[in-house]
Structure formats: C-alpha cells, structure tokens
Amino acid sequence: MPSAPERDNTVSNPVIPGFHPDPSICRVGEDYYLACSSFEYFPGVPVFHSRDLVHWTQIGNALDRPSQLRLPPDTRASGGLYAPTLRHHDGRFWLIVTNVSGDGNLLFTATDPAGPWSDPVPLPGVHGIDPDLAWDDDGTCWCTVAGVSQIRLDPYTGETLGESRRLWSGAPGAKAPEAPHLYRIGDYWYLLIAEGGTERCHGVSIARSRTPEGPFEPCPANPILTHRGTDHPVQNTGHGDLVQGPDGSWWMVFLGVRPQGGTPGWHVLGRETFLAPVTWVDDWPVVGEVALDMAAPPWPLHAPQVPPVRDDFDLSELGHAWISPRSRPAQHCTTKERPGWLSLRARGLSMDDPEVTFLGRRQQHLSCRARVLADPAEGRGGLAVRLDEQHHYEIEAAPGQVQVIARVGPFRSTVASRSTPSGPVVLRIEASTTREVTDARQGPDTVTLGLEDEQGTFVELTTLDGRYLSTEVAGGFTGRVLGMYASVGTVHFDWFDYEALED
C-alpha cells in the first residue's frame, strides 16, 4: 500500500467524514496517526490510523477511562475536549488537549497510539486552548497555545519553565488566532495558525523564524488556505496540521464543512477532516486544490466512501465509534445483561436531559439511513438524531405505541404517533440531502422518521426540516450523532445498522 496518495489516483475527500474536527497528525515510519476533538462526548479524542492518508481506521479513543476524562453533568454542549495535538517523540506518542469543562490543559502518553494511554499529567502553568508540542534539537519542549503564546515545558512532570511569551498572532486585527503548530522544517521554524474564527472566514496562515522563539516573519501569501468569500462547496477551511510522507511529499489535514440548501447554507455533519497536497516555493508551503465531488488537479476527488455499519451487540465491549454525552456508566449501558443485545437503563427523563442514557455514532453522510430493533417491554426509548439537548428528533417506542418527538430550541412537541403490536419494533430515521435548491430559504436536508411493519414495509410517520439540527441554527462546534436512548426503565436493542443513501 502506498505511503501517500499518488497524484494521479482517485482520493476521497473528506478523508474522515462526519463530526471529526481539529485534526492533528503525525507519522511514524510508514504509518500515519490522527486525532480529533470530541467536545462533550465520552470516550474522548478518537484516534485513527492510515498507511496512505486516505483510508483511515479508528483504532481507539485516547481518553476512554473516567480517570482520564472528567465531564460533569453540567458540562455544556460543545464544552469538554478541544483541539488535541498528537506527536511522536523519543519513542513514545504524546497527546496534549484542553478540557474546557474543568481540568484545563492535560498531557497523555502512550507507546501504542491504539492505547492504553496514560492518566493525565495536569498542566496548571499552561494557559489557553489548542496547545501544541514541539521539541528542539537539545530536547527543549515548547508548548504553544492559541493567542498565540509560548512557554517551555517539562512534558514528563507538567512543570512550566520560565515565563510565557507572545509570538506572532497572524494578520493584525484578525479574529481568533488559534490552533498553533510549531515545526522545524529545513533551515526554519514554522508557526502554523488558524485565524478568522471557525466559521466562513476561517483560514490557515504561517510564519517562519530561524529559532523557535522568533521573531517570526509572516508568509507574503497568507492566508495559505481559505475559502472565505468563495462559492466553493467546502467552507470554513482551517485548523490545519502538516505532515511529510516517507517519499518526501507534504500534505495538510484540516477541517472544513459542506453546507447545503439555500442561504446562508447549513452544515449538519459538523466540521470534517479534509486532505490537500502541499508543495514548497521559496521555503514557503503552498496548499493545493481542495476538491469535492468533481475532478480537479492535482487529483480527482469523489464523495467519501464509508462502509455500512452493522452492530449486533454480540461482543462484550462496544466498538470505538460509539459515543455518549459526558459519561457512559456500565450500569446504564451494557451488552452483558442480555446476551446479543444492548441494554440501556434510563437515568435522564428524555433527550432534553444532559444525563440522558444515549449511545450513538456520528452521522457521516449527507443522505443516510439508520435502523434499530428495539424492545421497549421494560421501558421507553428509541432512535434519535442529536445535535445537543435543545436540538434533536427521535422516534420513541413504548409498549404498544411509537411517537415522534421534535425539540428545537425552547420548543418541544410530539408531532406524530401510532399504535403498534406488542413486542420488539424496528425504528428508522432517514436523512435526505437537498438535491435542488429552488428557494433561498430551502433547508439542507429532510429527516424522515418512522417504523417498519411486520412485513418489513417502511411506515413513515413524519418528515421534518433538517435545518433545525444544523450548526447554523443550534450554534456550537459539533455535528449530528445518530443512536439509541432510554428515557424510562430499560430498553433493549438487538441490532443497529447505518448505511449511506445516494446523495
């Protein structure tokens, strides 16, 4: 398998679709590893592996134990873990990240990026979000944070050395200089940052110096990546990280969104991980074309290919992709109570509750279908598509009945219901992207909720506008998550499947 995409091959973009923002990447030999932000979800910081920068497999979550990740019940949506940096140095992997919901900046290490990762090393002397790690030739470790400022750090103890000092912070007056990454490349130290905010004005800029402490000279072509003010199908491009392949090629991973519908355009999958080639001109990086669903140099790109997902809950442990808001106590979420089934025991009263028992996977396609076989004989619960506590749709089963519930901001309503025979029931949610925009107010997609009857025929209960489960409506930094929940008693689920539909 090649170590980097060949320039004339077909490549999928985004390379990690769905809610996978703030990518940070490193390479060890022929292997690439990448980590993303996870915000209020547990387990935290998904970790991926690839041999070619295109095909990525999730190999774990760096923070998968309560001793590593504290997200109290009052952790707000889009709180939690922000912007990890993943690096390999001195024979081990290092991951530094900010928990904005109480613990501040934390440092973790592992010999295997699949885990286990260490318990956290607190960094009380590091102030600011989006921390980065870089090492000088003499072993000095530099920690750089959004703002942009820098301090020397003992990464083994967490002790800071000396005083924090300001560095180059991008264009004068530019909003939110953040996501700094410091690199030694050739004769220069390069400081890569994001600026402009993570919305439509997002971009990536770079500066260089002969020393890691500066002074830094900005690139005359800044920003080196942005889609602000364009009609490009990929928007909000920023928060990049550079990596060199073993063949000498250079690449950038970065976040972007795919807005759909009319004005202002709504993105529902969250910020996704994209890939672009990088060349060097006069010792400055030049980011190549970012293409989506069209042929463009330096290589043609097509829609992301994520295989269908089927989980029959036959294993004692859940797969890496399953996530829950804030925590996942075993007594409320287990595959060991009823063999071959997932059992969810309610603790919150509904999907409105921050402590709801919910287990989901990120939505990764603009058009998709999710189905579950639910047994509500001992309670009430079902299948939901969630953005946060105030923005979600669900089809909920109770003995003899199903109902569709919609929560949009302060409004909550039961919008449809139907009687059902006793016993397990197949629940279904379909998202269908807007194929043709005929009105500036037209939403990005529709969300259809229903059930399957005893003959397997889909019975639609309602179709709702998808814009209300978008970042542009709800705010925040996350994307949709599809999954199962319990609101009363215990609900058992025999299987879950997810598949892409043609966009």
The letter for the amino acid at 2 is P
Residue 228 phi, psi (nearest 5): -60, 140
Nearest to 371 by CA among 463, 432, 451, 462: 451
Within a 13 Å sphere around the CA of 365, how many CA atoms are in the beta-carbon half? Answer: 21
Long-range contacts of 149-158 (CB under 8 A, 24+ apart): 150/182, 150/212, 150/213, 151/125, 151/126, 153/123, 153/125, 153/126, 155/94, 155/107, 155/121, 156/121, 157/121, 158/107, 158/121, 158/122, 158/123, 158/124, 158/125
Type and span of the H or E element at 148 = none
Task: Please tell me which residue in 22, 272, 388, 430 is annotated as part of the active site.
Answer: 22
Rounded distance, CA 187 to CA 210, Å?
7
Q: In sequence order, what E strands does 297-367 have?
A: 301-302, 309-311, 324-325, 333-334, 342-345, 357-362
> Measured between alpha carbons, how far is residue 42 from residues 81, 380, 445, 476 in Å?
10, 23, 28, 17
Rounded distance, CA 137 to CA 139, Å?
5
Within a 13 Å sphere around the CA of 60, how many CA atoms are in the beta-carbon half? Answer: 12
Rounded distance, CA 47 to CA 62, Å?
7
- Per the annotation, the verdict on 353 as an active-site residue is no
Could you tell me how many residues make up the chain? 503
Contact (CB, 8 A) for 421 and 429: no
DSSP 320: T
Which residues touch 143 (CB under 8 Å, ≥6 apart)?
96, 123, 126, 131, 132, 133, 150, 151, 152, 153, 160
- Per the annotation, the verdict on 453 as an active-site residue is no
DSSP letters, 83-146, are: EEEEEEETTEEEEEEEETTTTEEEEEEESSTTSPPPPPEE-TT--SSS-EEEE-TTS-EEEEET
Structure tokens at 378: 């001992």
Structure tokens at 73: 């019940």
Rounded distance, CA 161 to CA 262, Å?
52
The owner of tokens 């774990």 is: 60
Task: Please tell me which residue in 130, 178, 394, 430 is annotated as part of the active site.
Answer: 178
Q: So which residues are the catalytic ones?
A: 22, 178
